[in-house]
């Protein structure tokens, strides 16, 4: 969370910084700021409460120009969202600093700094870093030494970048626990939390490693490792087509991303050439690791956790492999009994989620046969630190509520099921059946997208409601969970998901006319049981919204609205039904007038614990 962009160039950089922030806004958007050193070596600062657009407005009213600068978009952790708490933080009228992460010992450091005479202008943990750095610079240290001394005093996670008027063409940065990448230009260099911010200016990147310090100027790029030694980190060219982060004809990124799913799902499926024989799409050495896998332990957060929950059904039912799934924030701290032959599988759109990364890093302490990640962002921390990697081909996902990243994760997980199932007696016919279903998946998703207008009509009933219940059975239960998460994230309607069989054990008490009930009810073997549950809801005045296979025999009647879904192979139904639920949430949120792409209090990439 929080996005950092920095530039050291021979040209004016304010517009580059602002464009970088726009591209990083998914990381946080409660306040934003930018500091520049102008050609008279003055430090110029804009800080605004609210989105990056507020900062742009401030820059239009009072333009500041400079060739060296840092900028930040914030997701508040310590200190409420306000202009004072926005970054950059200034110290001694000479330096400005931006920070992503959490400084755990900030209270002690604050007290020390106050006793040395430093006044604090904010309630953030980050401001201590600015004053510490200032203190070391005042003692005569150069930028690199001063930053090294500063980070030695910090406990917690950080990516920081700072500029100092006494070193007007340089930016100093450090990373520990939060991502930071250098963008390499010609006669100019940049820094950012995510390469996406810098694709406007370069396609060559240096990914900083844990404990690295970096100093950039227009002509130089120096990296020092944790021991303070100068190191040469590889430059990674990113030569894929620059991904469109433009909205195009869509009103919201979320809608664009929902509609991008047929392409993204097909691209992800085609990442593996010959699933029936070859495991190389899961990374070098996949076959050797897969041969030893008896169990899969999945750790993930949010929507990615739901993908893991779906995968459990596939892995156990199709591949005959025991699978456990846990939210990474619990998994990382729990004392567990480890089974022999366990693969640790993390799932993460961003590849940077702090809890998921911690789950992977703790893996070293346990006996796993290997670690694997399913991620959407190449070169992210999870990708760099896992033995095996499968990259989903969702493309950049900007909307905070995950859509195409989730469904492409499911494709990856189904392909993994085949790779592992092949070793556990999954018949060639069954494997082929799943592959055939995956091949046809984009068409079924297209068909679901054609139901958009019908779904929009259904969504109207949710607008005045304060609660919603989502029901599913079996593999559709995690899909109900994902549907309810989507609704609460973007429409702020309180939504809960239950396995349909649990309805009478509690939630039925809540059912009334303020509680629409959504049932994910494809025509599978559980349908009949679900039908009797649904009757219980209806007879208590609840209104039902049933997403059903058109072959299932449901029809609309008073207080029951049925959306007839495409008749598709069982195994891909979780993916197809997800798309319909995404559209439902989207339309509810649009009609409620919420900020669909940037829902309040949330951030896309949670790089703090």
Is 2 part of the annotated catalytic residue set? yes
Judge contact between 116 and 147, C-beta under 8 A. Answer: no
Q: Is 302 among the residues that bind ligand G6P (CB under 6 A)?
A: yes
List strands edge to edge, sheet with 388-391.
322-327, 295-300, 342-348, 368-375, 388-391
Closest alpha carbon to 384 in 373, 369, 398, 393: 373
Applying CB under 6 A, among 55, 266, 301, 475 the residue interacting with ligand G6P is 301
Nearer to ligand G6P, 222 or 602 (CB): 602
Q: What span, in angstroms and rounded, lies between the C-alpha atoms of 435 and 415?
A: 8
Helices then strands, each counted (H, E), the chain: 18, 25
Question: Per CB under 6 A, which region of 8-16, 445-453, 502-510, 599-607 contacts ligand G6P?
Answer: 599-607
Cβ-proximal residues to 240 (8 Å cutoff; 6+ apart), any chain: none
Return d(Cα 213, Cα 216) in angstroms, integer.
10
Element (H, E) at 459: helix 452-459
295 binds ligand G6P (CB under 6 A): no
* Smallest separation, CB 194 to ligand G6P (Å): 11
Q: How far is the CB of 81 from ligand G6P (least distance, A)?
A: 17
In the complex, least distance from residue 77 CB atom to ligand G6P, rounded to whole angstroms: 14
The neighbour count for residue 251, using CB atoms within 10 Å, is: 12
Q: How far is the CB of 179 from ligand G6P (least distance, A)?
A: 12
Residues 379-438 binding ligand G6P (CB under 6 A) are 400-402
Q: For residues 606 and 464, give the distance between their C-alpha atoms in angstroms, rounded to a whole number.
A: 31
12 CB-contact burial (10 Å; exposed 0-12 / middle 13-18 / buried 19+): middle
Closest to ligand G6P by CB, 14 or 408: 408
Residues 6+ apart with CB under 8 A from 212: 174, 175, 180, 223, 224, 225, 226, 231, 233
Q: Stretches 93-101, 167-175, 298-306, 415-423: which one binds ligand G6P (CB under 6 A)?
A: 298-306
Fill in the per-residue mask, 515 to 554: x = in contact with ligand G6P (CB under 6 A), - = not in contact: ----------------------------------------
Show the tokens assigned to 124: 């953030």
The answer for residues whose C-beta is within 8 angstroms of residue 427's C-beta and 6 or more apart is: none
Q: Considering only residues 343 through 372, tell me which ones interact with ligand G6P, judged by CB under 6 A.
A: 348-350, 353, 356
- What's the per-residue H, E or C state across 225-244? CCCCCEECCCCEECCCCCCC
Instruction: Work out whether 492 is an interface residue with ligand G6P (CB under 6 A).
Output: no
Q: Among residues 91 and 350, whose Cβ is nearest to ligand G6P?
A: 350
Closest approach of ligand G6P to the CB of residue 170, in Å:
32
Phi, psi angle pair for 275, to nearest 5°:
-60, -25
- Nearer Cβ to ligand G6P (178/356): 356
What is the b/e burial string over 566-592, where b = at least 16 CB atoms within 10 angstroms of the residue's CB? bebeebbbbbbbbbbbbbbbbbbbbeb
Write the binding mask 99 to 118 for ligand G6P: x where contact by CB under 6 A, - elsewhere: --------------------
Which one, 360 or 565, has the nearer CB to ligand G6P? 360
Closer residue to ligand G6P in complex, CB, 47/604: 604
CA distances from 356 to 328, 372, 405, 522 (A): 5, 12, 16, 32
Number of residues binding to ligand G6P, judged by CB under 6 A: 16
Q: Measured from the CB atom, is 303 or 431 closer to ligand G6P?
A: 303
Alpha carbon distance 70, 171 (integer Å)? 8
- In the DSSP assignment, the letter for residue 168 is E
Cα 331 to Cα 245: distance, rounded to the nearest angstrom? 34
- Residue (330 or 557) nearer to ligand G6P, CB: 330
Residues 6+ apart with CB under 8 A from 83: 31, 47, 48, 49
Contact pattern for ligand G6P over residues 310 through 349, marking x by CB under 6 A: --------------------------------------xx
- Pick the catalytic residue: 256, 486, 598, 604? 604
Interface with ligand G6P in residues 233-262 (CB under 6 A) = none
- Give the residue nearest to ligand G6P (CB): 302
Which residue in 2, 67, 272, 568 is the catalytic one? 2
Q: How far is the CB of 602 from ligand G6P (least distance, A)?
A: 5
Cβ closest to ligand G6P, residue 408 vs residue 605: 605
Stretch that binds ligand G6P, among 61-69, 279-287, 296-304, 574-582 (CB under 6 A): 296-304
**Active site (catalytic) residues:** 2, 604
Binding site for ligand G6P (CB under 6 A): 301-304, 348-350, 353, 356, 400-402, 602, 604-606
């Amino acid at each position: 969370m929080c996005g950092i962009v920095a530039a050291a160039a021979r040209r004016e950089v304010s517009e580059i910084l602002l464009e970088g922030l726009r591209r990083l806004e998914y990381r946080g958007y409660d306040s934003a700021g930018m500091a520049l050193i102008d050609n008279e070596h003055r430090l110029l600062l804009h800080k605004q409460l609210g989105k990056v657009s507020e900062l742009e407005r401030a820059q239009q009213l009072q333009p500041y120009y400079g060739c060296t600068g840092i900028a930040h978009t914030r997701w508040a952790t310590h200190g409420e969202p306000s202009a004072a708490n926005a970054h950059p933080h200034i110290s001694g009228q000479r330096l400005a600093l931006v920070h992503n992460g959490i400084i755990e010992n900030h209270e002690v450091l604050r007290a020390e700094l106050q006793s040395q005479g430093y006044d604090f202008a904010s309630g953030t943990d980050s401001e201590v870093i600015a004053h510490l750095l200032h203190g070391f610079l005042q003692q005569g240290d150069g930028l690199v030494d001063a930053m090294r001394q500063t980070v030695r005093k910090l406990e917690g996670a950080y990516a920081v970048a700072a500029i100092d008027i006494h070193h007007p063409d340089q930016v100093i940065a450090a990373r520990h626990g939060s991502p930071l990448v250098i963008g390499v230009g010609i006669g100019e260099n940049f820094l950012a939390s995510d390469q996406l911010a810098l694709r406007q200016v370069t396609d060559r990147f240096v990914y900083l490693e844990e404990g690295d310090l970096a100093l950039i100027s227009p002509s130089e790029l120096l990296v020092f490792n944790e021991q303070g030694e100068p190191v040469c980190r590889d430059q990674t060219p990113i030569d894929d087509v620059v991904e469109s982060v433009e909205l195009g004809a869509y009103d919201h990124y979320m809608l664009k991303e929902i509609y991008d799913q047929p392409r993204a799902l097909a691209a992800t499926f085609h990442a593996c050439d010959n699933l029936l024989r070859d495991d190389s799409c899961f990374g070098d050495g996949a076959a050797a690791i897969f041969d030893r896998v008896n169990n899969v332990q999945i750790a993930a957060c949010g929507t990615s956790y739901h993908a893991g929950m779906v995968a459990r059904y596939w892995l156990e039912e199709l591949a005959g492999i025991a699978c456990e799934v846990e939210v990474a924030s619990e998994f990382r701290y729990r004392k567990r009994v480890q089974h022999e032959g366990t693969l640790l599988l993390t799932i993460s759109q961003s590849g940077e989620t702090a809890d998921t990364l911690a789950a992977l890093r703790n893996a070293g302490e346990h006996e796993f046969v290997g670690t694997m990640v399913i991620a959407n962002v190449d070169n992210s921390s999870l990708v760099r630190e896992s033995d095996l990697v499968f990259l989903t081909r969702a493309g950049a996902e900007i909307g905070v509520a995950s859509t195409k990243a989730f469904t492409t994760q499911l494709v990856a997980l189904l392909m993994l099921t085949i790779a592992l199932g092949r070793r556990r007696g999954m018949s060639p016919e069954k494997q082929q059946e799943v592959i055939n279903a995956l091949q046809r998946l984009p068409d079924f998703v297209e068909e679901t997208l054609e139901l958009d207008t019908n779904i929009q009509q259904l969504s109207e009933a949710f607008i005045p409601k304060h609660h919603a219940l989502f029901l599913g059975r079996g593999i559709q239960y995690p899909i109900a969970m994902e549907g309810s998460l989507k609704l609460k994230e973007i429409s702020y309607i309180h939504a809960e998901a239950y396995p349909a069989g649990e309805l009478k054990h509690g939630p039925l008490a809540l059912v009334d006319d303020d509680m629409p009930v959504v049932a994910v009810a494809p025509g599978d073997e559980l349908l009949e049981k679900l039908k009797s549950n649904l009757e219980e809801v209806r007879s208590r005045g609840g209104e039902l919204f049933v997403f059903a296979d058109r072959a299932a025999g449901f029809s609309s009647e008073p207080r029951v609205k049925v959306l007839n879904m495409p008749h598709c192979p069982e195994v891909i139904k979780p993916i197809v039904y997800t798309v319909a639920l995404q559209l439902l949430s989207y339309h509810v949120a649009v009609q409620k007038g919420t900020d669909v792409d940037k829902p309040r209090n949330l951030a896309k990439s949670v790089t703090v614990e």
